[in-house]
Amino acid sequence: MRALVAACCVAFFPVTVALAGDQVPVEAFAQRGGYSLPKLSPDGKYLAVAMEQGEDHAVVIYQLDDMSHVKSLLKMPKFQLPADLHWVGNDRLVVELAKFVGSLDRPELLGEIIATDVNGKHIDAMFSREWGLESHGQTRSTDEGYALVAGKPPKANDHFYMQTYMWGDENNSWLYDVNAGTGIRHMIGEIGVGDMDFTLDPDGNARYAYGVNKLNKYVTYRKQNDHWVQLADNGDDSRFVPLTFSQDKQHLYALTSTKGGPMALVQTDADGAQSQLLAKDDFSSIDHIQWTPQSVPFAAASATGIPNETMLDAKQPLAQIYQGLSKKFPGEFVDFSSFSEDGNMLVFEVSSDRNPGAYYLFDFKRMKIQKLFAETDSIDPAKMGERIPMHFKASDGTPLEAILTIPPGGSMNDLPMVLLPHGGPIDISDTWFFDNDAQFLASRGYLVLQINYRGSNGRGPAFAQDGYGKWGTRIQQDLIDGVKWAEAQHFADPKRVCVFGASFGGYSAMMTVIRAPGMFKCAIGYAGVYDLAMMYDKGDTHESTFGKNYLEQTIGKDPAELAANSPDKLADKIDVPVLLIHGEEDQRAPFAQAKAMRAALDAAHKPYEWLTKSGEGHGFYNEKNIVDMYQHVQAFLEKNIGPGGQAN
């Protein structure tokens, strides 16, 4: 063990200091390209990664003993990308597919799964419509539904478990054992509730099903005597989320919430009884769980703030290895990503507020650590700003988290500031980790303020649901309260504050200006929603039953309330210059939203600037368009609140 820990004690990064005036080119923040999702093959001979180069995506398989040798390259169709990679055998890889609807949203799962041999041959459809592939002599174009990988056997045998949901059927979820070599599937479980996730024991038995039903209510079921039994609903937003069974089948690990509070990590027996608390935080949910190859958690951290892993079992050998690595990457977060089946090879990621991420290989037998690649090579962490999470109290006394990004080399004293509201708004949050928009603004000398307002993720179900029906009211007040707090602390110069947001953040950019006249000097809305009633008629949210229920829960249906909280109906109250940025092919917040806001500003005789791009969706994806967008943002800020970090 001492030798293994000593192997961690190698310094990898030289210490460098960003020089004053050494401004990072805008292209560095616009570059799309890099590597992610590294997964070791069971025998540790190969490494599969997702590769992005500009607008092109692929799965690349490297021979681990010679990373310069590409074993195979599987290119994705345009706008598609690998969502996750799963080795099911030493020579067989399963790929879950996703697509981009724009740069602002997380990649949207297609519900399609394909498989490939390590040499790039025998590409086969496991569940796929768009690839037009055949499997075992049958086309998968008849798979009119949606599928996800639910798990794998503990020992790779070319099989995996797949959960499926069929279009037009909101009342059932199915589970299959799939042979990834032949594509043959056998049903091993089903439940008469739609959109459920299954938790399987190591023998492949479905023991739990959980998720949000068609009424947008979270439910959990346990298999009991061959029947599904719903766990007790106490009506207080309590939750039980079964994560995984240990490979010895003795324990179940789950996240639990009492009365809607932050999620805690617990260990129970196999039937969910005799619960033992492993980790909790009164302010934040538990996240960043580290697992052994035997599916036992050995460390966990809070979802908010700077993640500081707590060792659940300090005597666990991997816990000691983890602590050794963490000490040798000060200021960075270490995340165990993938093991070989024998546990002798480990891929781990190192990332931080300034570092988008880099991956390393730890060979336990050779006592050797090797850097594999960085997620992106366009960002120099030494030139990025520090991100500092803090707490403050909203005007009604609710404690909230704020994250400040400090310009590199600058002080936190009366700086020009940009409020950067996150999108969503429900169950999305800003974190301490690298944020492209915040770092771009900080690199231009602006203090950046982000608020995890009520409705945000990371604080438990009740905190997220507290944002329902409050899009234009309490959520905006939380943002305004955050600005007042930053000014009271003399972090921000009250005379030089602007707001810039994307998606729901674009909505907030207009609404904060309306709700707090005189506070801001300018507002930038990027791919925003500006007419709430329009969400029931245009865009893709209203097209599903889930989406319609979501809208009714979060914004309501009363026409007067929708109008009272829609920026395009309140344009006469906007007292600052506005910049509107939008993609003309946006399906989430359709281009009609931007045109409605523009028409309202015209009618109210308010000044604004306009930047749109054809072919772009919910957020710009083309690198040239991103550069143009950032340049417009920088010029607009300089015109209205002055150059960053300089006094007027």
Tell me the pLDDT band of 558, cut-offs 50, 70 and 90. very high
Residue percentage of the chain with pLDDT more than 90: 76
Res. 13: pLDDT tops 50: no
CA distance 595 to 528: 11
pLDDT, tens digit (0-9, with 9 covering 90-100), for 214-249: 777 899 999 998 899 999 876 677 899 999 999 888
Can you tell me whether residue 348 is helix, strand or coil?
Answer: strand
Q: Rg for the chain (alpha carbons), in Å?
A: 25
Please compute the mean of the pLDDT values over residues 51-69 and round it to a whole number: 88
Count other C-beta atoms under 10 Å from residue 375's C-beta.
Answer: 18
Strands 297-302 and 286-291, bridge-based pairing: antiparallel
CA distance 386 to 381: 10
Please compute the mean of the pLDDT values over residues 63-88 and round it to a whole number: 90
Q: Which of the pair, 6 or 382, is modelled with greater confidence? A: 382
Buried/exposed 121-136: b ≥16 CB within 10 Å, e otherwise: eeebbbbbbebebebe
Hey, which bits of 584-634 come out as E strands?
Answer: 608-613
Residues 71, 46: contact at Cβ < 8 Å?
Answer: yes
CA distance 247 to 204: 11
Res. 19: pLDDT tops 70: no
Strands 46-53 and 33-40, bridge-based pairing: antiparallel
Residue 540 confidence (pLDDT): 67
Q: Which two tokens stand for residue 241?
A: 């989320």
CA distance 131 to 114: 9
What sign does the dihedral 514-485-433-33 (CA atoms) show? Answer: positive
pLDDT, tens digit (0-9, with 9 covering 90-100), for 607-637: 999 999 999 989 998 899 999 999 999 999 9
Residue 544 confidence (pLDDT): 66
Residue closest to 444 by CA, chosen among 619, 250, 639: 639
Q: Which of the pair, 621 or 508, is modelled with greater confidence? A: 508
Residue 66 confidence (pLDDT): 85
pLDDT, tens digit (0-9, with 9 covering 90-100), for 248-286: 888 999 999 999 999 999 999 988 888 999 999 999 999
Residues 509, 421: contact at Cβ < 8 Å?
Answer: yes
Residue 153 confidence (pLDDT): 95
Q: Which of the pair, 469 or 234, is modelled with greater confidence? A: 469
User: What's the burial of 93, exposed, middle or buried (CB within 10 Å: 0-12/13-18/19+)?
Assistant: buried
CA distance 43 to 150: 22
Can you tell me whether residue 263 is helix, strand or coil?
Answer: coil
Residue closest to 288 by CA, chosen among 276, 302, 277: 302
Dihedrals phi, psi of 361, to nearest 5 degrees: -110, 130
Tell me the pLDDT band of 56, cut-offs 50, 70 and 90. confident
Residue 249 confidence (pLDDT): 86
Residue 105 confidence (pLDDT): 64
Residues 406, 442: contact at Cβ < 8 Å?
Answer: yes
Please compute the mean of the pLDDT values over residues 117-138 and round it to a whole number: 77
pLDDT, tens digit (0-9, with 9 covering 90-100), for 382-420: 999 999 999 999 999 999 999 999 999 878 899 999 999
Residue 248 confidence (pLDDT): 86
Which residues are CB-contacts of 224 (< 8 A; sequence separation ≥ 6)?
A: none
CA distance 514 to 479: 12
Tell me the pLDDT band of 135, cut-offs 50, 70 and 90. low
CA distance 360 to 368: 10
Residue 15 confidence (pLDDT): 29
Can you tell me whether residue 48 is helix, strand or coil?
Answer: strand
Tell me the pLDDT band of 541, cut-offs 50, 70 and 90. low
List, in sequence order, every residue forming a beta bridge with 500; answer none if it has no partner: 524
pLDDT, tens digit (0-9, with 9 covering 90-100), for 636-645: 999 999 998 7
What sign does the dihedral 401-405-411-413 (CA atoms) show? Answer: negative
Please compute the mean of the pLDDT values over residues 493-521 and round it to a whole number: 97
CA distance 39 to 42: 9
Please compute the mean of the pLDDT values over residues 451-475 and round it to a whole number: 96
Count other C-beta atoms under 10 Å from residue 448's C-beta.
Answer: 26
Which residues are CB-contacts of 330 (< 8 A; sequence separation ≥ 6)?
A: none
Alpha-carbon distances of 471 from 259, 474, 514, 556, 619, rounded to whole Å: 23, 7, 13, 10, 21
Look up tokens 């398989």; give the residue: 61
Residue closest to 114 by CA, chosen among 152, 61, 76, 150: 76
pTM: 0.92
- Helix and strand tally (H, E) in the chain? 11, 37
Per-chain mean pLDDT for the chain: 90
Residue closest to 385 by CA, chosen among 350, 455, 434: 434
Res. 648: pLDDT tops 60: no
Dihedrals phi, psi of 14, to nearest 5 degrees: -70, 150
Residue 134 confidence (pLDDT): 55
Res. 647: pLDDT tops 80: no
Residue 539 confidence (pLDDT): 65
Query: Of 59-68, 149-158, 600-609, which range is least confident?
Result: 59-68
Residue 156 confidence (pLDDT): 96
Res. 325: pLDDT tops 60: yes
Q: Which two tokens stand for residue 300?
A: 């966990």
Residue 130 confidence (pLDDT): 66
Residue closest to 366 by CA, chosen among 64, 36, 68: 64
Question: What DSSP string describes 150-218?
Answer: EE--SS-SSEEEEEEEETT--S-EEEEEEETTT--EEEEEEESSTT-EEEE-TTS-EEEEEEE-TTS-E
Most confident of the ranges 73-82, 174-183, 227-236: 174-183
Residue closest to 501 by CA, chosen among 477, 525, 519: 525
CA distance 101 to 217: 26
List, in sequence order, every residue forming a beta bridge with 415; answer none if it has no partner: 492
Please compute the mean of the pLDDT values over residues 569-596 and round it to a whole number: 95
What is the biggest distance separating any 2 CA atoms in the chain, rounded to whole angstroms? 74
